[in-house]
Every structure is written in structure tokens, then in C-alpha cells.
Structure 1
């Protein structure tokens, strides 16, 4: 059964001190976003993020994840279409993550038409949702800080 929260995941790859992020074009609405989906009952948010990344892009669960502070609230009707969990749950929390991958080759599910690897500045201009833009900004800043302090 679906749990009342969402996860958002941005795959990234670091080469020669440059960072690229994968963004995904949805097949149903044809806009760009990170990997996103709902949690399932009994999962932690990180378990949900790993499952969604595997289901939507073939990213194995053992790659290193970064849990971000970025969190959004999404209207329940915009996410699942109705009050699936009763009249008392109006918004769903969206938890954000980054995942470091070793290759740019991803295996898309039917939820996505395409994906692109882009630098932060290019990726953020294509993203539809503000929550995605904020999460990608945070991930980019965290990774740049790590690179600059090495």
C-alpha cells in the first residue's frame, strides 16, 4: 500500500571536478524533473528513494545516497488525484536525495521518455517544479563544497 509521502532523487556523476545531473522527461506530461515517486508502507524514505531510482532508472541500491534537507509539501490531489488517505491528509511531504552513479547509462522505465546529463545551470532551467529546483540547488552546493574542501 502506498504511504503518504513522496521521494525525489537526482542522480549525479563527478568527473575531473565537474558535476553533471540527470533529469528526466515524463512520458505522461512531457516535462522535466528528477526521479519521483511515492513511498510504500513499511519503507523508510531512503528505502523508497532507492526503490524508485531502481524502478525508474535501473540505479542499483548500493550506490551512495545523500539525504538532502530540501523538503516540500505537495497537495495530495495533485499527487494521487484524491484523498487516498482520508479527509485529514491534505499535503504530502516530499523528501529529496542525490545518488552518485558510476556511469551515464541509465535504464528508463515507461514513466520517462528521455533523460539528459547536464551541468547544474542547464538542468535547473529545464525543471518544471520549484521543489526540484530547490533540491537540485542544495545538492549542487553540497557537492561543490565537498570538492572545494578536498
Structure 2
């Protein structure tokens, strides 16, 4: 049996409203761990395609209906030990690309039961404190400097 490993390139999508409410998802495999939409790039996908796919898979939302923006922020971090088995044996680090998805108000979402237990919309300050990932917290704080517009990069479409 050939094992298919994850590509160590991922996206982080901060889904937010103009008044800076941020959508968070609680991980099913780690109750109490809250995060924004994240996911690894599939072979042959662009980063925008990865972002659109992951938003749809994790929330049921069609990112193409909203303002998806590449924030031109790239983070490199060491993959948590507990999740390294998903990657090739020599892989220890991941490169994460940050996007924003501006929605008009806290829209209803349907979480993927295999991945998440529940969701919540929080003011950006609370969201930044609640997420477990430092890069996720930093991206949410960055939203505040953008005034909720989340458009300091290139439009993803």
C-alpha cells in the first residue's frame, strides 16, 4: 500500500465581518482547540483553490461568493509532533499562506463533523485569545490593523 502524505504547504483563512467578528471552529480531534479555517494544499492546486476548497469543506460556505483576499503573509512553523505522521518522514516544517474572507455579517455555517465539533463568531480580540495557534492569533490581530477590511493583499479571484 502506497501512503499519500500531506504537502507541507497550507492556507489559513480568517473569515470575518466588516465589524471584525471572526469565525472560529473547534477541532474534533482536539476538543478545546479553536482555530480559523486551515488546510493543506492538494497536488496541482493553487493557493486560492486550496482556500476555496477548505472553506467549503469546513464551513459549507462558497468563498467565491464573498471577498477572498490573499494577505501576502507567509508563516513557516514546526509541525506539531502529534500531527507529523500525516507528512513524509523527513518533513518537520509547514509553510502557511494567510487569506481573509470578508462576509457581510455572521453567516450561518455547517461544520464538517469529522473535523470540527462546533463554531462560534467572536469579536476579533476574543478570537485572537481563544485560538491555539500563534500564527492564527497573529493573523486575527492583523485584521484589526486593517480595520476589518482584510484587503491589504491581492484579491484571490
TM (normalized to structure 1)?
Answer: 0.82
What whole-Å deviation, never above 9, does each CA across 1:79-113 have from its counterpart, x for those lacking one? 742383453x4311011111112452011101111
CA contact (8 A) 1:76 1:83 kept: no
Q: Over aligned residue pairs, what C-alpha RMSD do you find? A: 2.2
Instruction: State the shift of 1:136 in Å.
Output: 1.0
Quote the residue 2:76 is aligned against: 73
Aligned residue pairs total 142
Instruction: Show structure 1 runs of 5+ residues with no match.
Output: none
Q: 1:55 to 1:145 in 2, by over 3 A?
A: closer
Distance 1:100 1:144, change over 3 A: closer
Q: Does 1:5 align with 2:9?
A: yes
Task: Report how far residue 67 of structure 1 moved.
Answer: 1.2
8 Å CA contact retained: 1:76, 1:92: yes
Post-superposition offset of 1:41: 0.5
Report the equivalent of 1:118: 122
Q: Contact 2:143–2:149 at 8 Å: present in 1 too?
A: no
Give the whole-Å Cα distance in 1 for the aligned partners of 2:30 and 2:80.
16
